[in-house]
Structure 1
Amino acid sequence: MNDLRAAKRGAALLGSILLLALLLNLGTPLPSVRAVEGNPPVVVAGYDGAVVPITAKYLERVIRHAENLGATACVIQLSTPGGLYTTTQEIVTTILNARVPVIVYVSPAGGWAGSAGTFITISAHVAAMAPGSRIGAAHPVGIGPSDGQQQDIPSQKITEDAAAWARSIAQLRGKNADAVEQAVRESKSYSDAEALKLNLIDLRAQDLEDLLRQLDGKTVTLSSGARVELRTKGAPIVNLSMNPVEKTLLALSNPDLAYILMTVGMAGLMVEIYNPGLIFPGVAGAISLLLGLYSLGTLDAYWGGVLLIILAFGLFIAEAFVPSHGILGAGGVISFVTGSLLLFSGGPPGIGINISLIVTTALVFAALVALLVTAVVRGQKRAVTTGSEGLIGRMGTARSDLLPEGLVFVEGELWRAVSEEGPIKAGEKVVITAMEGLNLRVRRA
C-alpha cells in the first residue's frame, strides 16, 4: 500500500510538472500581426551553441513566423563552433527557400561561424559579421585521411559532396566559391576583415543597430525570383527566443548532460537490481536512461560506444552475483572508459564529452565496484546467520525431557532434538551443536 501511495504521489507530481511546462509554453508571448501591421518589422533571433536537431526546428519556426508577420527581414544572430552535417542541410534548405529575406549576423564580437556555421552564413540573403569574429574550418570532421596520406572512398565522397554543396551555395549568393571551397577542403578560416575582402560576406557591423542601418535600402532576390528592398531603418524589432520546450530539448542535446543521464539511469537500475522493491531508483533510472539514449540518438553518437557502456553496467551487475574477485568489475571499468571515449570520437566541433567528466565518472564507478567486491568478500567470510545452518550455536529451552529424544523451543519454534550427553530435563537450557535432517542435536548450555 505504501508503494502504491508513493507511486500515485509520484504520478501526481510528474503530471503537475508537465502541466506547468505546458502553461509556461502557452504563456510564452508571441508577437501578434496586429502589433506590426502599420510598419513591417524585423524579426530577430539569436543562437549560440552547437548545431543540433532542435536548432533547425527553432530557426525554421523563426523564419516561418517572420513570413507570417510579413516582416521586412529576419535576422539570425549566430555563433557556433559547428555541428551535425544533416542538421546543417535542413537549416540551409530552410533559408534558401525562405519567403522573407534572411540575414545571418555572426556576432557578438569574438563570435564564430565555424564548420556548419560557414554553410549557414553564406546561404543567407545577406551575410554579416561583427568585428573580431571569424568564419571557416568547414571540413567535415571525422571523415578525413585515415593514415595522413590517403582517404577511404566513403570519406572522400562526403568531402567532395560538401565542397560541391559549398560552391553551389556560394555561386547562388554571388560569393567567392574558391574561398568557400578552401574552407571545406583545407579547413581554412578567415577573420571578419578577410571574409569581407574575399567576398565571403556582404558587410561588417558593430552591433544590431549598425547592421539594420547598413541593411536599409539593400535589394535581395528570394527563391521565387521576387526582388525585395529591405526597409530596416526605424522598423520595429520583434525578438523571438526559444520557448521552454525548445530550451529543454536544447539542454538535452548537450553531450555532457546526455552522458550523465545515461550513466545515472544505469546506476539507478543497478541499485534497483541490487535492492529489489525500492521502486524509486528503478523508475528514476529508467526515465534518465531513456532521456540519455534519446539525446545520444539526436547527437549521432557512435553506437559502438553506447554498447560498450551498456556492457560495462552488465559486468558491474554480474560482479554482485558471480564470485570473480573483481575481474568482472575491472572489465566493466575498462569497457566503460573505452565506450565513453568512443561516443563522439571524430565527431563534429562543439559536440563531445568533457574528458574530466569521463575520468570523474569512471573513478566513481571504480570506487563503487571496489566497495561492492569488498562487501561480497566479507559476506563470504561471515558465518551463516540464516536458514537451518544458522541455528547451530543458538540457545534453546527443553520443552520435554530428552531421554535422549524430545522437544526443544528455539527461535520461536518447536524442534525435535536428540541429546548428545545423557538425559536433559524439561526447562533446561540447551545449545544446538548440529542438525540432521529436521532433527537437532543438542547439549546442555
Structure 2
Amino acid sequence: MPQSTQPDILVIGAGIIGISTALALQAEGHRVYILDRKGVAAEASRGNAGAFAFTDVEPLAAPGIMRKAPKWLLDPLGPLSLRPAYALKILPWMVHFWRATAKARFAAAIEAQAGLMALSRAALERQIAAVDGEALMRREGQLQLYEGRGEFDAAAPAWALRRAHGIAFDLLQSPEAIAEIQPGLSPRFTHAGFTPDWMNTVDPALWTEHLAERFRAQGGTIEIAEVTSVRPFDGGVEVVTPAGLRRAGQIVVAAGAWSHRIARMLGDKIPLETERGYNTTFPTASVDLRTHVTFANHGFVVSKIGGGLRVGGAVELGGLDLAPNYRRAEILVEKTAAFLPGFDPKGGVQWMGFRPSLPDSLPVIARAPGCERVIYAFGHGHLGLTQSAGTAELVAALAAHRAPPIPLAPFDPRRF
C-alpha cells in the first residue's frame, strides 16, 4: 500500500462491531480501511436473533451458578453444555469464570454492563438516524416466558435488577394476560415479563450490510484477507496478509471469536472463548409472532427475520474447531413446535455461529497492553449486536485520545 493511500486506521473485522466502529471513525474524519477473513457479516453477525438486548445486564457468571453448572454442562443437548473433547482446553477460562462469580466482582460487572448498555442504546439511536436505518428496525418489545409460579419467582431478582437500572417492564401472571401480547402460546406458560422498549433489526445481516454500504459510499474500503501477522513499526502498525502488507497509524482488532489469535501476535494473552450458538431460520412465518419471544428456562428465543422466523439460542462451549452438533438446533425446533401450537417445523435452514466470550461477560475495549497503537474491541458474547454502536463510540474516543463517555477500566484486558 503506497504511503499516500495509507489509512489513518485499519479495522480488522467486518462484523457488526468492526463495521460500526469503522463508520464512527470515518465520521470523525479518519481514513479507514477494513480487513476481514471472509467478508461483511460472514460469521456471528449474520445468524444471530437480531435483538438489541439492552435489558440483559446480568452476567452469566453469577454467584451460585457453579452449583448448577455440572448438571448443565454434562447435558449435551441442554441450554448450556460443554463438549467433552474440549473440557481440558477450556479449563483456564472456567477458572476465570469461577472467579467472576464472586459477589463483589459480579456487582461490579453489572454496573459496567449497565453503563455500556445505556451508552449503546443512545448510540444506536444516533447510528440509526445517521444512516437512515429506521426501516430496518422493529420496535415490538420482548416477552420472557415462565412455566409456573416457581420459575417466575426464581426470576424475581433479575427483574428487580432491571428495575434498579431504569428498565421498563410489565409482569404478567396469567396465560390470558400473556395472550393479549402474544396469542397462540401453550398454556404451560403461565407467567411472563414484557419489556416494551426492546428492539430488533429486521435482519442482522441486512443491517450490517446496510452499514457497510454506507461506509463504502463515504470512501471506505473493505478487503477480504486473512491476517497472518501484526507488528508495530515507527509511526504505526503493519498487518501482513497473503495479499500483501497493509499499514496504518492505528489498528482496531474487532475480529470476533478470532481476536485472541491476533492479540497473541502482539504478546497479549486474553482468555477469549466461544459460546457456540445454534439456530434454524424458516423463510416464511407459520405463526403470527408479534414480539420477540424468550423461553427463559429453555435457553432459546423465537424472533422474526425478514418475513420468516428464526429459532435459536443455547450455549455450547466447544471452541472454534470441533464439528457442529446440529441436534442442538433440532431440539430447539422441536420445543418450539410444542410451545407454539401451529408452528410448522419443516423447511428450516440450520446454522451455527461463534459468539466471542470472556469469562465475566464483559468485552475488551481498550488499547492493547502490548502496543499503544492497537485498540481492542471484542469479546461481547451474545451482545455484539446490542453493544455495537456504543463500542464504536468508545473506540472513536480512544483513537482520538479523548476521555470516553463511560469508564473503561472494567473493559481492560489486564483484569484477567
Tell me which protein shows more helix as a share of its residues.
1
Considering fraction of residues, name the structure with more strand: 2
TM-score, normalised by the number of residues in structure 2: 0.24
TM-score (norm 1): 0.23
Which one has the largest radius of gyration? 1
